[in-house]
Amino acid sequence: MIRGRRAWLLPASIVVALLLGLLPLPAPLQPYRPYWLALVVAYWVIEDNDRVGLGAAFGVGLLADLAFGGLLGEQALRLVVMTFILQRFRSQLRFFPMAQQVLAIGGLLLNDRVVAAAIQLAIGEPQLPLAFWWSPLPGMLLWAPLFLLLDALRMAGRRGGTGRPR
């Protein structure tokens, strides 16, 4: 079973995304931090919709809320909204050329910023700085390399060898 041999890839990619989100950045670069977790969840929703759906996005979001020490449920809500949109347009998005996928992911990351700003407004927190809105740009630029890396790792077991299960 090829799928069974690569079962470690999903949790490992989530852990790596969480760790990348926890890495300290200099204060001027902090608002430009890509939302690694959203990028990884987006990949898995697009490529393995059977294993990653709304429930998984909610669970990963709660884990991120605990890891990052933010408002409990904020990232869970943000990831669920993103996953819902991705699931709705998954069949079209899978066949987009990479340039169109990058733009679509950029739109989703911008939508995530809107949801985060709405949450901040709803709980009475001060609005985030203007640099906060530039964060989707690095995420867009990282989508293609991240997609290709995760796809290569996911498909590695299917290529090579005799084609027989090992």
- pLDDT tens-digit map of 91-102: 999 899 999 999
Give which of 73, 104, 110 is closest to 91, Cα–Cα: 104
Q: How confident is the model at residue 30 (pLDDT cuts 50, 70, 90)?
A: confident
Mean pLDDT of 68-72: 90
Structure-model confidence comparison of residues 161 and 119, the more confident one: 119
The pLDDT assigned to 145 comes to 96
Q: What is the pLDDT of residue 163?
A: 46
In this structure, which amino acid lies at residue 40? V
Q: What pLDDT shows up at residue 136?
A: 94
Closest listed residue to residue 52, CA positions, set 10, 95, 108, 1? 10
As given in the structure block, the two tokens for residue 30 are 């902090």
List CB contacts of 36: < 8 A, sequence separation 6 or more. Answer: 16, 17, 18, 20, 21
Provide the pLDDT confidence category of residue 80 given band limits of 50, 70 and 90. Answer: very high
Specify the range with the lowest mean pLDDT, choosing from 2-6, 53-57, 104-108, 161-165: 161-165
1-28 average pLDDT score: 85
d(CA 95, CA 97): 6
Distance from C-alpha of 33 to C-alpha of 12, rounded to nearest angstrom: 20
Does residue 4 have a pLDDT over 90?
A: no
User: Taking the CB of residue 158, how many other CB atoms lie within 10 A of it?
Assistant: 12
143 in Cβ contact with 39 (< 8 Å): yes
Q: Over range 14-39, report the average pLDDT.
A: 93
- Which residue type occupies 157? G
